[in-house]
């Protein structure tokens, strides 16, 4: 047992938990914690703002099996992280956010930089903890780490008063396995449960392997949501890619014809589920770790088979049962149909335009994406094009803001992804609207000399919203266009990027793309794309998949 101040206890706990990197921004109410880091091997990465620090921590989690950690100061610093915390909560991403706070006796007063953290984050985080002088810091922090990962993962926000950081506490060095084991899920499918299944978002490495084994045994055609890209190798001829409002034409076509939908860890959000024909007359089998979501779906869709628990465990139980009883499926006609649709309705775009098409840029990038590549995106048309055209091969390789749709996501997330995967190539795809929202991370990337490649599609507008305006408001584009062109490549160059180029002539695109891919260090390629390009296919608001609009370029081959 040792005696140390609360800030030192926090750092020692993080060391015991195996934390190697922290993302953050300093300030008066968190100075004791930053000072305690001086004797630690934990590396602190200082972002351009607190929102970015939390996005980087979440990116660390999204792309690995570890929990990202963000540490910020009080008041505006912690409220700056609110969007990132809510984004992680929506996408079930584990994360720890520590915030400095005014001394405990000043909580609830009109003290400088005081904010009611518990009240503000209550509905945006998995859990909010306000440390008090009587609390055991070590137990709370070590438990919070594994609680964030358990069940339906999510962010935990810990409010750390300044006086508690400075006060001495006893540190017992409790083995972290005690906390890890307390959240172990022992639930399995019974024999009868497996029998019932065969009678009638998930994005983890173990879950992905189980899904792949299940598909390999039965040869079942698959589709994926935006958040599940890479769970199944998208190069496989029986994987039809992303389903949804901007899904691939063949995925959206196939889903209208199936008679059994096996949903694993999906969120059933409105851009997917509300447009699906199977919601009316198709049998559903559903596995999820979230009891609240299961309750909702049981009421709304009356699934024939359900299991609340770890998807990887459930799938392995089903696999073991199928092998034990030599169960096989004869679905050759369905497999032929899936392959036919995928081959006959390829994605396409305006190949004759004099302007660079964003779809062309992403399809060209697809030639350079392999098993080791990690992709992050902003939010908008470029995000959906990346989801359509990039065939991801591994889980945790495509990081995007799904539930919350947060612009400004790509650059700070890419920083976290790099630190979690230092030997992988990281490519951040962004639009000009999204990139401007966390432009300061260009400085972070350049100043730390991070080998992150940024591909920016600049159409001088908010393209996705502009497309919606054209459809719903007769082409009146209020607030979505930027009349003055800005050379973002010059901005990146001024920050110190080793490669920063701009391309506006489509004949130069191939050369610039090759140079961008081959360059080392922080790299930035700005492609000036067609402002009038429209994202296809799309399912209109209020429509179903049978109402899918293919546009003028997607045709049967």
Q: What does the pLDDT read at residue 186? A: 76
Rounded Cα distance between 543 and 229, Å, is 24
| pLDDT score recorded for residue 274 | 59
Contacts of 540 (CB under 8 A, 6+ apart): 471, 547, 549
Residues 452/519, Cβ–Cβ less than 8 Å: no
Q: Which of 234, 262, 258 has the alpha carbon at shortest distance from 247?
A: 234
Task: Give residue 206's pLDDT.
Answer: 61
Confidence of residue 258 (pLDDT cuts 50, 70, 90): confident
State residue 65's pLDDT score.
Answer: 94
Q: What is the mean pLDDT of residues 308-321?
A: 90
Contact 86, 54 (CB under 8 A): no
- Interval 61-97: pLDDT, tens: 999 999 999 999 999 999 999 999 999 999 999 999 9
At 130, is the secondary structure helix, strand, or coil?
strand
Give the distance from CA 513 to its chain's centroid. Answer: 25
Cβ–Cβ < 8 Å for 87, 437: no
Model pLDDT for residues 3-40, shown as the tens digit of each residue: 899 999 999 999 999 999 999 999 999 999 999 999 99
From the CB of residue 476, how many other CB atoms can be counted at a distance below 10 Å? 9
pLDDT for position 277: 43
Per-residue pLDDT tens over the stretch 290-299? 898 899 888 8
pLDDT in the model for residue 411? 98
| Structure tokens given for 468 | 């919606």
Question: Which residue, 333, 387, 438, is CA-closest to 50?
Answer: 438
- For residues 10 and 20, what is the distance between their CA atoms, to the nearest angstrom? 14
Tell whether the model's pLDDT for residue 273 goes beyond 70: no
Q: Is a pLDDT exceeding 60 seen at residue 521?
A: yes
Q: Any residues with CB less than 8 A from the CB of 397 and at least 6 apart, and which?
A: 63, 229, 230, 371, 373, 374, 375
107, pLDDT greater than 90: no
Position 204 scores a pLDDT of 57
Cβ-count burial of 8 within 10 angstroms (0-12 exposed, 13-18 middle, 19+ buried)? buried
Q: Residue 46 above 60 pLDDT?
A: yes
Q: What's the confidence (pLDDT) of residue 279?
A: 45
Q: Report pLDDT for 205.
A: 63
The pLDDT score that the predictor gives to residue 216 is 79
Instruction: Please report which confidence band the pLDDT of residue 187 belongs to, taking 50, 70 and 90 as the band edges.
Output: confident
- pLDDT average, residue stretch 443-470: 93
Neighbour count for residue 75 (Cβ, 10 Å): 21
pLDDT of residue 52: 98
Q: What is the pLDDT of residue 200?
A: 64
Tokens of 301: 């869709």
pLDDT band at 202 (very low <50, low <70, confident <90, very high): very low
Task: Render pLDDT for 150-159 as a digit per residue (tens, 0 to 9).
Answer: 999 999 999 9
The larger pLDDT score, comparing residue 279 to residue 352, is at: 352
Q: What is the reported pLDDT for 157? A: 98
Count the Cβ atoms, other than its own, within 10 Å of residue 123. Answer: 9
Average pLDDT for 337-347: 96
Q: State yes or no: pLDDT of 281 exceeds 80.
A: no
Task: Say what the pLDDT of residue 518 is.
Answer: 97
Question: Residues of the chain with pLDDT > 90: what percent?
Answer: 67
Beta partners for residue 101, in sequence order: 161
510 band by pLDDT with thresholds 50, 70 and 90: very high
The pLDDT of residue 100 = 96
Element (H, E) at 160: strand 155-161
- At 390 the pLDDT is 97
């Amino acid at each position: 047992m040792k005696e140390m101040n609360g800030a030192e206890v926090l750092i020692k706990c993080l060391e015991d938990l195996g934390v190697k990197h922290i993302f953050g921004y300093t300030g008066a109410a968190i100075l004791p914690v930053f000072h305690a880091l001086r004797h630690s091997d934990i590396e602190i990465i200082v972002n351009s703002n607190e929102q970015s620090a939390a996005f980087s921590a979440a990116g660390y989690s999204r792309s690995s099996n570890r929990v990202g950690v963000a540490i910020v100061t009080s008041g505006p610093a912690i409220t700056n992280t609110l969007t990132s915390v809510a984004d992680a909560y929506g996408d079930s991403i584990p994360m720890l956010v520590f915030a400095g706070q005014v001394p405990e006796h000043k909580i609830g007063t009109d003290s400088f930089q005081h904010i009611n953290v518990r009240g503000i984050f209550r509905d945006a985080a998995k859990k909010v903890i306000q440390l008090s002088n009587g609390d055991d810091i070590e137990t709370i922090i070590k438990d919070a780490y594994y609680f964030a990962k358990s069940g339906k993962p999510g962010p935990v926000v810990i409010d750390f008063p300044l006086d508690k950081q400075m006060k001495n506490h006893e540190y017992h060095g409790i083995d972290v396995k005690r906390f890890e084991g307390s959240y172990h899920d022992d639930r399995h499918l019974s024999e009868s449960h497996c029998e019932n299944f065969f009678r009638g978002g998930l994005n983890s490495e173990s879950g992905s392997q189980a899904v792949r084994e299940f598909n390999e045994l039965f040869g079942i055609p698959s589709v994926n949501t935006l958040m599940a890209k890479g769970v199944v190798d998208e190069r496989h001829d029986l994987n039809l890619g992303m389903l949804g409002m901007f899904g691939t034409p063949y995925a959206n076509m196939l889903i209208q014809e199936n008679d059994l939908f096996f949903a694993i860890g999906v969120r059933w959000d409105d851009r997917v589920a509300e447009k699906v024909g199977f919601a009316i007359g198709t049998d559903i089998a559903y596995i999820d770790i979230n009891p609240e979501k299961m309750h909702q779906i049981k009421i709304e869709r009356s699934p024939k088979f359900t299991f609340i628990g770890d998807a990887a465990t459930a799938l392995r139980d089903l696999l073991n049962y199928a092998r034990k009883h030599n169960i096989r499926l004869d679905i050759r006609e369905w497999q032929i149909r899936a392959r036919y649709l995928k081959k006959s309705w390829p994605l396409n775009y305006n190949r004759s335009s004099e302007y660079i098409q964003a779809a062309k840029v992403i399809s060209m990038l697809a030639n350079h994406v392999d098993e080791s590549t990690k992709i992050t995106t902003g939010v908008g048309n470029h995000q959906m094009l990346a989801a359509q055209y990039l065939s991801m091969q591994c889980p945790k390789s495509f990081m995007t803001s799904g539930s919350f749709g947060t612009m400004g996501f790509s650059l700070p997330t890419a920083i976290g992804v790099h630190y979690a995967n230092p030997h992988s190539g990281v490519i951040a795809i962004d639009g000009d609207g999204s990139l401007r929202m966390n432009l300061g991370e260009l400085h972070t990337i350049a100043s730390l000399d991070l080998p992150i490649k940024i591909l920016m599609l600049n159409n001088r507008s908010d393209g996705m919203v502009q497309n919606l305006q054209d459809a719903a408001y007769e082409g009146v584009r209020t607030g979505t266009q930027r009349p003055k062109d800005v050379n973002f490549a010059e901005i990146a160059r001024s920050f110190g990027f080793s490669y920063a180029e701009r391309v506006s002539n489509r004949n130069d695109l191939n050369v610039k793309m090759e140079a961008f891919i081959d360059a080392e260090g922080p790299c930035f390629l700005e492609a000036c794309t067609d402002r009038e390009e429209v994202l296809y296919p799309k399912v209109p608001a209020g429509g179903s998949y049978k109402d899918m609009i293919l546009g003028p370029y997607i045709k049967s081959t």
